[in-house]
Every structure is written in C-alpha cells, then in structure tokens.
C-alpha cells in the first residue's frame, strides 16, 4: 500500500484514495460531430501499461479533490503529483 502526497492535504495512505484511470483524456467538446470510431476512441480506449503511467486519482476519503499522478505501475514509484489543469511534467 503506497503513500500519496495529495496536492491539497499532503501525505496520506493509499486507502484514502481511489484511482480514476488514465489521465489527460479530454471529453470532446463536440461529441455529435464525431464518428462512431472517434467517439469509441474517447469512450473505451484506455492504456494499461507496465511502466510510467499518467493517472487520475481522487482523495475520496479526504478533500474529495481530483488530481493527476505519474506512477510507475511496475513498482508503484510515484514520480509526480499535480493538480487538475496543470501541465503534465516531463518524465
């Protein structure tokens, strides 16, 4: 169980958080203008890689804020934590 440094609260146990999957997938502004394939790309396709991954996390049992996190899924090392809307760091 890892420790996550919530950008609003500080270091807390992983059990307080929930993961919301891959980060930086933006909801299309004009969904009605997309083809089925383009919409499906947004709706269904998610990466699940072994290695460095950009993820969305929510401090569910804390401040309830969503934020982004860069985690190496092979060893759970957390490279960066940053707020929604901030630019992803270069890892």
Partner 1 sequence: MTKYRINKTRFVDQTKNVSFTFDGKKYHGFEGDTLASALLSNGIHLVGRSFKYHRPRGIMSCGSEEPNAICQINDNTDLTEPNVRATEIELYEGLKASSQNCWPSRHFDIGGINNLISQFIPAGFYYKTFMWPKSFWKKIYEPLIRLSAGLGKSPTQPDPEIYDHKHEHCDVLVIGGGISGIISAKIAAQNNLKTILIEDKNILGGSTIYQNNKNFIIDNQKSNEWLMNEISELEKLDNLIIKTRTSLAAFHSYNYLLAKENISDHLPLDKKNGNIRQRLWKIRADKVIVAAGAIERPLIFNNNDRPGIILANSVKKYLDFYGVSTGLNNIIFTNNDSAYETAVSLFEKGISVKIVDIRKKSSSNIVKNAEDLGIKIYWHSTVVNTFGYKKIKSIEIMNLSEDGSNVTGNKRKIQCDCLSISGGWTPMVHMHTQSGGKLDFREIDQVFVPSEKSENHINVGSCNGDFELEEIFKNTNNKVKKFLNINESGFDKISVLCSKELEKKNIWLLPNTISEGKTKSFIDFQNDSTAKDIKLALREGFKSIEHVKRYTTTGMATDQGKLSNMHALGIIADTAGVKMGTLGTTTFRPPFTPLTFGAIVGRSVGKFFDVVRKTSIHEWHVQNNAKFENVGQWKRPWYYPINNENLHEAVQRESKTARDSAGILDASTLGKIDIQGSDASEFLNRVYTNAWSKLGIGKCRYGLMLNEDGMVYDDGVTTRLGENHYLMTTTTGGAANVLSKLEDYLQTEWPELDVYLTSVTDHYSTASICGPNSKKILKKLFPNKDFSDEAFPHMSYQDAIIDKIECRIMRISFTGELSYEINIESKYGKSLWENCIKAGEEYKITPYGTETMHLLRAEKGFIIVGQDTDGTMTPIDLQMDWIVSKKKYDFIGKRSLYRSDTIRDDRKQLVGLLTDDPNEILEEGAQIVSELDKKRVEMIGHVTSSYFSPNLNKSIALAVVKGGKKMKGQKLFVPMENKNINVTVSDFIFLDKENKKINA
β-pair partners for 58: 18, 66
Residue 63: exposed, middle, or buried by beta-carbon count in 10 A (0-12, 13-18, 19+)?
A: middle
> Which of Zn ion, partner 1, none does 9 bind, CB closer than 5 to 8 A by kind?
Zn ion
Residue closer to partner 1, measured from CB, 3 or 49 = 3
Comparing CA positions, the residue from 25, 18, 20, 22 lying closest to residue 4 is 18
Site for partner 1 in 27-86 (CB under 8 A): 27-28, 30-32, 34, 36, 39-40, 43, 56, 58, 60, 64-66, 75-76, 84-85
66-72 and 10-13 as β-strands: parallel, antiparallel, unpaired?
A: unpaired
For position 2 contacting Zn ion by CB under 5 A, the verdict is no
Residue placing its CB nearer to Zn ion in the complex, 8 or 42? 8
What is the DSSP secondary structure assignment for residue 16, as one 8-state letter? G
Give me the residues that bind partner 1 (CB under 8 A), please.
1-3, 13, 20, 26-28, 30-32, 34, 36, 39-40, 43, 56, 58, 60, 64-66, 75-76, 84-85
């Amino acid at each position: 169980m890892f420790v996550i440094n919530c950008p609003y609260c500080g270091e807390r146990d992983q059990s307080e958080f929930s993961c919301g999957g891959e980060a930086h997938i933006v909801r299309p502004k004009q969904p009605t203008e997309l083809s089925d394939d383009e919409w499906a790309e947004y709706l269904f396709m998610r990466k699940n890689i072994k290695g460095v991954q950009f993820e969305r996390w929510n401090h569910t049992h804390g401040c309830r804020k969503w934020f982004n996190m860069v985690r190496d899924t092979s060893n759970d090392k957390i490279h960066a934590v940053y707020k929604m809307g901030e630019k992803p760091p270069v890892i």
